[in-house]
Structure 1
């Protein structure tokens, strides 16, 4: 199916870490014009070269999403240089403290997680929505996590920030809908990435006396589909929700987790 994304201007925050590279590359392969927004200038310039090698074009913009001034400047540059903003994909995220109970989480850790995961998305949405409203067109995809749908012991700050992002998404969808703007939430589960391979798998091997394959299979049993999510699965969900194929879908939570959030 042709998603009709060729030539669209897509802002991707956090395009160099975690799920960011897979999502940015997926849009590049569709022929999109990308705005890569991150604090790490060297990293986004390198990513811009990679995405252009896949058939898209990219504008790297130094942007701290926790700063309303910088997110406004990013949106302004996007329109000045590329003419419009068709879609915003909020990927930039902070993992927050891992393994700490609520009472062992410091106020500083909690606030930082909220600043990046919740305020950061608010800032970028606030910057791009007026420009989308003026054109009566736009797609926003907030990348959250399934811990924001079920909660997770030891991940309170992260879970809280992603629960909050769901509320932001749903409220913005109701507000922006009359202007032909879709706002949705994608919730990845555990993704088979570097952190999964370097942290979760060795931990399971040590705890249960398993080899690598057995540890992977044990983890997969937690999911209805008995397989672990790939970064491409999340990227494909973002492509779908950024296209007109999904024109009648807004305000939804879309878990991409093999069924974990439903179990």
Structure 2
């Protein structure tokens, strides 16, 4: 399906690896030009090079999304280079403390992950949405998580931050809708990758005294489809919501988890 993204300008935060890289390269395959934001520009470089090899422009800008001034400067640089902003995808985020109860989590740990996962998208939307308003519309996609839809013991800080991101998404959807800007949230479940294979699977294997293959299968069995999501699954959802195919969809939470949060 042609998503009609060729020639659009997409801004992606957290593009260096995992879901962010998959989203970035997905836009490149669709012919969209790119502005890639992150603190470690060296890590983003290889992904940008892959995108350029597909024939699109890919500008890398150093930006800490928790810094309001840095986001404003990034927006100015993007507009100076391309003259418009059509799409913003907020992938950048963190996991916070794992394996701690809420009572064990420190105030500093809580503040750090809430600040990153909520203040980051808040800053980037405030920085880039005015250009969309001026240009007659746009698409914003925030990447949340299913723990922000059902909650999760031992992940209180992360879960709280993603619940908050849902509220931010819905409020911006209401406020920016009259300007023809769609604001939606993609909520991945567990995604198969280094963290799943190197941290989650060994932890489950040790907990139940089973092999790592059995642990991976046990985790997948929690989902209606019996499989763990991939980065490409998440990217596909982001691309759809960033396209005019989703022109009448705004303020939604779209789980990409094989059937866990919604069932």
| TM-score w.r.t. length of structure 2 | 0.97
**Match of 1:154?**
154
Name the CA distance, whole Å, in 2 between partners of 1:56 and 1:209: 49
Residues 211-238 of structure 1 show CA distances to partners (whole Å, capped at 9, x for unaligned) of 3332221111100111110110000000
Q: Return the offset for 1:193.
A: 0.8
Structure 1 contact 166–253 (Cα < 8 Å) conserved: yes
Question: Runs in 1 of length 4+ with deviation above 3 angstroms?
Answer: none
Q: Return the offset for 1:244.
A: 0.3
Name the CA distance, whole Å, in 1 between partners of 2:107 and 2:262: 31
The CA RMSD over aligned residues, in Å, is 1.0
Structure 2 residue 56 is matched with structure 1 residue 56: yes
Name the CA distance, whole Å, in 2 between partners of 1:45 and 1:17: 11
Name the CA distance, whole Å, in 2 between partners of 1:200 and 1:57: 37
**Match of 1:250?**
250
Q: Return the offset for 1:18.
A: 3.5
Unaligned ranges ≥5, structure 2: none
Q: Return the offset for 1:57.
A: 2.1
Structure 2 residue 232 is matched with structure 1 residue 229: no
**Match of 1:67?**
67
Structure 2 residue 100 is matched with structure 1 residue 100: yes
Name the CA distance, whole Å, in 2 between partners of 1:150 and 1:75: 34
Structure 2 residue 255 is matched with structure 1 residue 259: no
Q: Return the offset for 1:200.
A: 1.3
Name the CA distance, whole Å, in 2 between partners of 1:161 and 1:95: 10
Unaligned ranges ≥5, structure 1: none
Structure 1 contact 173–182 (Cα < 8 Å) conserved: yes
Q: Return the offset for 1:247.
A: 0.3
Structure 1 contact 48–58 (Cα < 8 Å) conserved: yes
Q: How many residues align?
A: 263
Name the CA distance, whole Å, in 2 between partners of 1:25 and 1:16: 11
Structure 1 contact 30–56 (Cα < 8 Å) conserved: no
